[in-house]
Structure formats: C-alpha cells, structure tokens
Amino acid sequence: MALEFWDIAADRLRKSLGNNNYKSWIEPLQLVGESAGTAEFFVPTSFFGNYVRQHFEDQILYQMRESGFEVTRVTFSVGRLDQEPVARPSSPAVVAPVKPREIQGAKLDKRFVFDNFVVGKPNELAHAAAKRVAEAGPVTFNPLFLYGGVGLGKTHLMHSIAWELQSNRPDINVMYLSAEQFMYRFVQALRERKMMDFKELFRSVDVLMVDDVQFIGGKDSTQEEFFHTFNALVDQNKQIIISADRAPGEIKQLEDRIASRLQCGLVVDLHPTTYELRLGILQSKIELYQSSYPGIDVRQEVVEFLAHRISTNVRVLEGALTRLFAFASLVGREITVELTQDCLSDILRASDRKVTVEEIQRKVSDHYNIRLSDMLGPKRLRSFARPRQIAMYLCKQLTSRSLPEIGRRFGGRDHTTVMHGVRKIEDLRNKDSQMSDDLDLLRRSLEA
C-alpha cells in the first residue's frame, strides 16, 4: 500500500523537480517503511542522504502528503533493502548489557550528538544547560526553554540530550517530538476517541521534549492540551525541555498563562553565530566530510571566506559545504575561493552582507592614512599601491563584484591589474603576519 502511494508521490516529484533531479536523487531512494508519521528511506551513501535532505526534503514531504501519506518527517539512512542498514560512525555508543529504551516520539538524527556540537560564546550557555539536563540529576530548572533563530542548533541540542539520556539512563522514559507532531497526535487521538491513551502516554514519560513550540500559537485546543500535559508533568517533577524560535512572551497568540508557565524554569537563548564560531563549525564539518571524501582539500582561505560571507544560519553554512564537496568531487579539483564563488553564487548572494566597494575604499584609505583620491588615482608608489591592492582584495572577498567591475571602480584599471593585486595580497597574507592581522581587522570593522 505504502509503495503504491510512494509511486504516486515519486511521479509528482518527477514533475516538480524535473527528470534529471528525479533520476539522480529520487529514483535511488528506497522507501523502507512508515510509522508514527515518519517515513524512512534508504540511500546509497551518506553524502547522498545529506544532499537529498538539504535540497529535496521539503518537496518530498509535501508530495508524500499530497499523495496520501500521513507523514510529518522523512529520514534517510544508508542501506539497501536487501541489506542491513550500515551503522554510521557518529551513532552514539549503546551501553551493554542493558538495551536502552527506545526514545518515544520522533526519530532522532544520528549526527545530532554533543560530540558534533561546536561550542562558542553564542551558544555556550544553551550548551551547558543542555548538558546539565542530559545528566538527569535532580530537576533544578523546569522547564528548560531554549530559543533562538533558525539554524542555530536548537534541534541539535535537543537530540543530543535525548541520545545522552538514552545511553546513560536506560531506565527512564524519554519522549522527543515537535510541537506539530504533538498536535498531530492530539488531533488523531480525538478523531479516534483515544484521548485516555493519549493522556496516559504523555503523563508516563520522565523527560518530555517539545521542539518548535511556537507552532502551537493560535491553535487553541492544542495549547490547552499541551498546558495540561505540561502541568501534570511539572507536578510530578518530571523534566521538560522546550524549544522555540523566540522567547516565551513573544510567541504570537500564545495564552499568557502558558507563556508565564514556560518562563518559570531556565530560559536560555542561542545567539546568532559569530565569525569565530562559524570557523569552528566549518572546520569540524570539513573533518567529518573528509572521512567520506578522502583527498579533497579545502584551503584555509576558503574556510575563512565562507565564515565571513555566509549568514549566521548554520544550516545554510552546512548546505554550502555539502555542495562544495559534491562539486569538488565531481570536478576533481582543489577547492579554491574562485571555485567557491562560482559554485555558491546563489547562496552568497542571498546572504550577502552588502559591504560596498566605496566603504572598503574609504575604510582602507583611512586605515593607511592616505587620501581616497590617491588610492583611486594613478600613483604607483608602494605607500599607495599596497593599500590599493588590499582594498581590491577585500572587494573580491567581501562583495560579489567581478574583477572587471572592481577595476572600473578603482579609477578604470584593467581586470588583470586587479587580479595581480588580489594574488599579491593573498601571497603576503600567508607570509606576513602583520598583513594577515591588518586584513582581519579591516574585514571585521567592515562587517560590524
């Protein structure tokens, strides 16, 4: 039955994604099964799974629903239908001999473990709080409320807590689900007249985690039921962990009494990532990728380029990296800044910080104490030429202008002059630490 539905969904996907995408990415998917709102697919490689997750997950989910599946989530794991699934290296260790209890609710992503979470200033509090509740000691704050913008690691932290609890405390009942799934189950229980079962299930857990709770804003009966569940668990001193994209008081159409209950415990926000954190995350993801793509190297300047140019959303950063590795493995070339710019032009444009050529010229001439007219004029003295080259280099790095365009803005110079300048600075940057510090400083102040 499910396979028939999948045929219909696949056919719709062929139409919406085009034949090439369909052949490359959809046809190889093997539907393994479907339960509790999750459809599970086997994929040939982990790269393949990542790629499909990044690019087609929403479409797949949408077309499956349109074709009659009652799914809210799809998962991709490496395997073939005639084989056992391949265990991935990042899967958390299972503690012998007690087999941990299955986490109830939604499936957990194997990559979302504490070991893969890079800690920096913007997320250190959230991380510390998550670690604390994962110890399952006496409940000190209830609920733990994590909030922050999209792609800053809320779901990653929640899954990490669940994995950790599963291996350290196999005796306790953990339930993780999204607020949407909570609603879905609630509505289903109403429809099937199984409200008693529903209440019993939710009141029997020791740790309840509800992700993206902003979803219940405006959904009155779901809110009501959530509130009862919440209170019942808090009364029994059971740990609750909630995430949302904003602070409790700012969730639209959320009843005041619920908002104030949500604030009773510890409210921690994940701040937008900083340049330093993005660097750290990129480095750790590159190491992960390199185990599946041996031989592909990413230059340090590319890593810095990405950390500078891509927005604070880590999901976007990962998407960029996935594409870059796929591209490099196809063309079999080393990843350079140029290759990166070509391959990621759409992503870069979308998260462009909009630093202008004029700002760069002004900032650099201020920094080196020369007049703007000397930077743009014909003088070839080193004391003018060097800042000019630095400004050109920064224009290449921080704006999406082409070399000829940059040349035009520097007093009508030729693109080969710009290229020469950019190369020169790249070269100096690697040799001369003063130069590399200057560049960092300038970049930082331009982006502030």
Positions at the binding site: 151, 153-155
The single residue among 117, 145, 186, 289 that binds ligand ADP, judged by CB under 6 A, is: 117
Q: Is residue 112 a contact residue for ligand ADP (CB under 6 A)? A: yes
User: Count residues contacting ligand ADP (CB under 6 A)?
Assistant: 17
Cβ contacts of residue 415 below 8 Å, gap of 6+? 402, 403, 404, 406, 407
CA-CA-CA-CA torsion for 229, 230, 234, 238, nearest 10 degrees? 80
Q: Is residue 443 a contact residue for ligand ADP (CB under 6 A)? A: no
Q: Is residue 306 a contact residue for ligand ADP (CB under 6 A)? A: no
> Is residue 362 packed enough to be buried (19+ CB in 10 Å), middle (13-18) or exposed (0-12)?
middle
CB of 82 to ligand ADP, least distance (A): 30
Which amino acid is it at 81? L
CB of 414 to Mg ion, least distance (A): 49
The single residue among 46, 50, 63, 123 that binds ligand ADP, judged by CB under 6 A, is: 123
Question: By rule CB under 5 A, what string of x and - marks binding of each residue 145-164 to Mg ion?
Answer: ---------xx---------
Q: Is residue 53 a contact residue for ligand ADP (CB under 6 A)? A: no
State which residue, 310 or 343, has the beta carbon closest to ligand ADP.
310
**Bridge partners (DSSP) listed for residue 240:** 208
Between CA 421 and CA 424 the distance in angstroms is 5
The single residue among 106, 118, 161, 392 that binds ligand ADP, judged by CB under 6 A, is: 118
Q: Is residue 214 a contact residue for Mg ion (CB under 5 A)? A: no
State which residue, 155 or 181, has the beta carbon closest to Mg ion.
155
The binding site for ATP comprises 151, 153-155
**Bridge partners (DSSP) listed for residue 34:** 39
Cβ contacts of residue 249 below 8 Å, gap of 6+? 259, 263
The single residue among 86, 150, 232, 264 that binds ligand ADP, judged by CB under 6 A, is: 150
Query: Binds 118, which of ligand ADP, Mg ion, none (CB < 5 to 8 A, cut-off by type)?
Result: ligand ADP
Per DSSP, helices labelled H in 137-255 are: 154-168, 179-191, 195-203, 220-235
Query: Binds 395, which of ligand ADP, Mg ion, none (CB < 5 to 8 A, cut-off by type)?
Result: none
Between the CA of residue 232 and those of 46, 228, 276, what are the distances in Å? 41, 6, 42
Q: Is residue 154 a contact residue for ligand ADP (CB under 6 A)? A: yes
Token representation of residue 51:
């790629």
Cβ 215 vs Cβ 72: under 8 Å: no
Cβ 150 vs Cβ 309: under 8 Å: no
CB of 179 to ligand ADP, least distance (A): 12
Q: Is residue 213 a contact residue for ligand ADP (CB under 6 A)? A: no
The vertex-249 CA angle with 245 and 250, nearest 5°, equals 50
State which residue, 178 or 340, has the beta carbon closest to Mg ion.
178
Instruction: Please give the residues from 307 up to 326 whose contact with ligand ADP meets the rule CB under 6 A.
Output: 314-315, 318
Instruction: Please give the residues from 216 up to 235 whose contact with ligand ADP meets the rule CB under 6 A.
Output: none
Count of helix runs (H) and strand runs (E) in the chain = 20, 9
Residue nearest to ligand ADP according to CB distances in the complex? 153
Q: Among 54, 74, 78, which Cα is nearest to 64's? A: 74
Cβ 163 vs Cβ 120: under 8 Å: no
CB of 337 to ligand ADP, least distance (A): 23
Cβ contacts of residue 198 below 8 Å, gap of 6+? 185, 186, 189
Residue nearest to Mg ion according to CB distances in the complex? 155
Token representation of residue 332:
């079999």
Q: Is residue 160 a contact residue for ligand ADP (CB under 6 A)? A: no
User: Count residues contacting Mg ion (CB under 5 A)?
Assistant: 2
The single residue among 107, 156, 278, 323 that binds ligand ADP, judged by CB under 6 A, is: 156
State which residue, 243 or 397, has the beta carbon closest to ligand ADP.
243
- Phi, psi torsion values for 437, nearest 5 degrees: -65, -45
Instruction: Please give the residues from 257 up to 296 whose contact with ligand ADP meets the rule CB under 6 A.
Output: 281
State which residue, 95 or 150, has the beta carbon closest to ligand ADP.
150
Site of interaction with ligand ADP (CB under 6 A): 112, 116-118, 123, 148, 150-156, 281, 314-315, 318
Site of interaction with Mg ion (CB under 5 A): 154-155
